[in-house]
């Protein structure tokens, strides 16, 4: 029983990181219709930046915050390159984000080499229902709850958030009321950068990160987001947590070698279910 509780908590912890990453994808996709394949890169960049800042003597908290800020800026820059030119289609922008992700590999190898890196998180362990879990997992869960809650409030309670939703709902109508749709797209990319960066910073103390970790992260984040059809943040959170828990159980009871495959099979299953239910709706309509 204690073993199962341990796997559940570590799964939820890692799932929170997937949910943060997936939420970034959802924010960007809702507002700009672009699937941002550079999303995993934001996480890797922020994580590697923290290793450098900590080595330079900056304290925990400040190093992580600066790294998330950097990821926010990189998110903004990615948006400027991907959608900055008027008339760029979402398909073209998707390819641009893919290209930027590859460019990020070169920069990261140049700056940090190709070996996996990590840094210490919150030290110690805590007893939960008879299981001892690293306290850092509880930090991941707590921070994710606060940040996703704050993001939900941003969208529901502020005019800037309403303008982002309005742009997602109907860009033409947003333009006619005077909302700068291009600026909202850039804001979405910046938010996506922040959420991706935060995911990387939180997860690295429990999972080493190297320049190519973005693939695993983006596959998992995308799998979480696709449960919510790339538009629904609540389902993205559920998808992230479900993925994290299933992967922890597979890793714990079978083998860690199959964890990424679980995400891919999960994504495939959702897509198959969705397309078959769409066909049923078409037939019954």
Contacts with another protein by CB under 8 A lie at 159, 162-163, 165-166, 168-170, 172-179
Q: In terms of CB distance, is 78 or 236 closer to another protein?
A: 236
- Residue 176 CA to residue 180 CA, distance in Å, equals 10
CA 56, distance to chain mean position in Å, is: 27
Q: How far is the CB of 179 from another protein (least distance, A)?
A: 5
Q: In terms of CB distance, is 38 or 179 closer to another protein?
A: 179
Q: How far is the CB of 80 from another protein (least distance, A)?
A: 22
Q: How far is the CB of 166 from another protein (least distance, A)?
A: 4
Helix axes 135-157, 181-203, angle to 10 degrees: 170
Q: Which helix (H) or strand (E) holds 240?
A: helix 233-253
DSSP three-state, residue 126: strand
DSSP three-state, residue 34: coil
Q: Which helix (H) or strand (E) holds 140?
A: helix 135-157
Q: In terms of CB distance, is 29 or 136 closer to another protein?
A: 29
Q: How far is the CB of 109 from another protein (least distance, A)?
A: 42
Q: What Å distances lie between residue 213 and 48, 78, 108, 192, 235, CA to CA?
A: 11, 19, 11, 18, 24
- Residue 280 CA to residue 285 CA, distance in Å, equals 8
Q: What is the DSSP letter of 245?
A: H
Q: In terms of CB distance, is 168 or 218 closer to another protein?
A: 168
Q: How far is the CB of 162 from another protein (least distance, A)?
A: 5
Q: In terms of CB distance, is 52 or 165 closer to another protein?
A: 165
Which residues, including other chains, have CB under 8 Å from residue 146's CB and lie 6 or more apart?
none
Q: In terms of CB distance, is 177 or 283 closer to another protein?
A: 177
Q: How far is the CB of 176 from another protein (least distance, A)?
A: 5
């Amino acid at each position: 029983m204690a073993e199962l509780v341990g796997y559940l908590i570590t799964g939820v912890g890692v799932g929170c990181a997937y949910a943060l990453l997936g939420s970034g994808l959802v924010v960007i996709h809702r507002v700009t219709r672009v699937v941002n394949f550079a999303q995993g890169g934001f996480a890797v960049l922020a994580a590697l930046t923290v290793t450098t800042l900590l080595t330079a003597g900056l304290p925990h908290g400040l190093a992580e915050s600066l790294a998330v800020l950097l990821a926010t800026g990189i998110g903004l820059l990615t948006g400027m390159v991907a959608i900055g030119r008027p008339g760029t289609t979402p398909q073209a922008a998707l390819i641009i984000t893919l290209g930027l992700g590859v460019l990020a590999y070169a920069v990261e190898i140049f700056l940090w080499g190709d070996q996996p890196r990590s840094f210490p998180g919150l030290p110690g362990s805590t007893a939960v229902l008879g299981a001892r879990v690293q306290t850092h997992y509880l930090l991941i869960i707590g921070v994710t709850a606060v940040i996703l809650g704050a993001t939900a409030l941003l969208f529901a309670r502020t005019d800037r958030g309403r303008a982002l939703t309005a742009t997602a709902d109907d860009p033409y109508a947003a333009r006619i009321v005077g909302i700068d749709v291009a600026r909202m797209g850039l804001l979405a990319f910046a938010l996506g950068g922040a959420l991706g960066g935060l995911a990387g910073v939180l997860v690295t103390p429990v999972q080493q990160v190297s320049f190519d970790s973005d693939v695993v992260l983006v596959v998992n984040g995308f799998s979480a987001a696709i449960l919510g059809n790339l538009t629904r943040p609540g389902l993205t959170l559920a998808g992230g947590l479900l993925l994290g828990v299933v992967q922890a159980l597979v890793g714990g009871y079978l083998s860690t070698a199959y964890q990424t495959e679980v995400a891919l099979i999960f994504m495939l299953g959702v897509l198959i279910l969705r397309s078959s239910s769409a066909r049923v709706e078409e037939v019954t309509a």
